[in-house]
Chain A
Amino acid sequence: MTELHGLIPAGSAAPDFTLPATPEGHRTGPGRYAGRPVVLAFYPADWSPVCSDQMSLYQAALPEFERYDAALLGVSVDGIWSHRAFAQQRGITFPLLADFEPKGEVSRRYGAYTGQGVSARALVVLDPAGTVAWSQLSPDDVNPGADGILDALERLGADRRVTAR
């Protein structure tokens, strides 16, 4: 059962973190993208058995995220070798972070961890200052698509233009 009410809400300061992104030990996290919006896509597992899974979709949608100068980070409890094989097979070029040890710690801090020992399917958009601008929890078996993310990024862009005036 997913902890439905635990996901970090809009307006909260996003906990900073770094997690391993490559087998070589390179680590990254939202703080490395300071000044840019960051999209965190928590998902239960690599290798979901459908041909258009959420991470593949986000790869295809990457140019749209980039129009808002946003960085996209996938997060699951899979290890870095699983992430690497998954990324190669699906043609994924954005970082997939391994919330592997201590298992699920970052996901827990965002309220995006389930009782089954995996990350929830949760989306969190951070503004360039590191505050949560929007978050959404989906049932594990529902691919939430990218429209919510793009709407959130668009609102951020509009807010920034208003601020700049």
Chain B
Amino acid sequence: MTTPLQMTAKLRTPVGGRDHVRGPVDAPVTLVQYGDFQCRFCGAAYPNLVELGRQRADVVRLVYRHFPIANVHPYAESAAEMAEAAARRDRFWEMHDWLYEHQDQLDPVHLSLGVAQLGLPADELAAEVGRQEYGDRVRQDFVSGIRSGVNGTPTLFVDDVRHDGGYDLAELLAVVDAAANA
């Protein structure tokens, strides 16, 4: 079989209990982001997504899934696993925000300081990450992305349909509003 040129990629792994979600559970619009904490394009999209969540607090819920391109971003994998270690302590989003706000500080020493700054036991988390306790969890996100047509980061899905546009606030607001009124 030969696949036709342009196909709209669809999210193949539905949002579920294992996902990191912020925003109301019954929000009319779900936005799933595949991201890499060391990717500067994700870093550029981050404040817009936060602002989107603030301005459309009742409309949109944000879901974050890991998509580290480790061969290009050497700290992306450990940052993702550290976020999972924080998630085990119900602190995923705080860690997520810290990582995107300190993208130039993802090396082990600074990362550890950041974890401590959040009031988490840095040595304990580092040991868990060192034992790769969260490697499978991060990999599962990555594979779900690969199978859904994620071809780089950031990639967003708006209600399961890949968003092939940009990430500035105006466009994100327009996309969410269109989905809410669909």
Contacts and interface: CB of A to CB of B under 8 A. Distances in A.
Secondary structure of the B contact surface, majority rule: loop
B85 to A, nearest CB: 21
Contacts of B6: 139, 142
B2 A91 contact: no
A57 B2 contact: no
A7 interface: yes
Contact of A50 (B3, B68, B152): B152
Interface residues of B, number: 27
B47 interface: no
A155 B139 CA distance: 22
Contacts of A50: 152
Contacts of B151: 52, 54, 57, 143-146
Contacts of B3: 134, 136, 148
Interface residues of A, number: 33
Given A64-B143, A136-B2, A57 B69 contact: yes
Interface in B58-115: 68-73
A63 B178 CA distance: 38
Interface string B144-180: 0011111111000000000000000000000000000
B5 A51 contact: no
Given A59-B71, A92-B71, A150 B5 contact: no
Contacts of B139: 63
Interface of B: 1-3, 5-6, 9, 36, 39-41, 68-73, 139, 142-143, 146-153
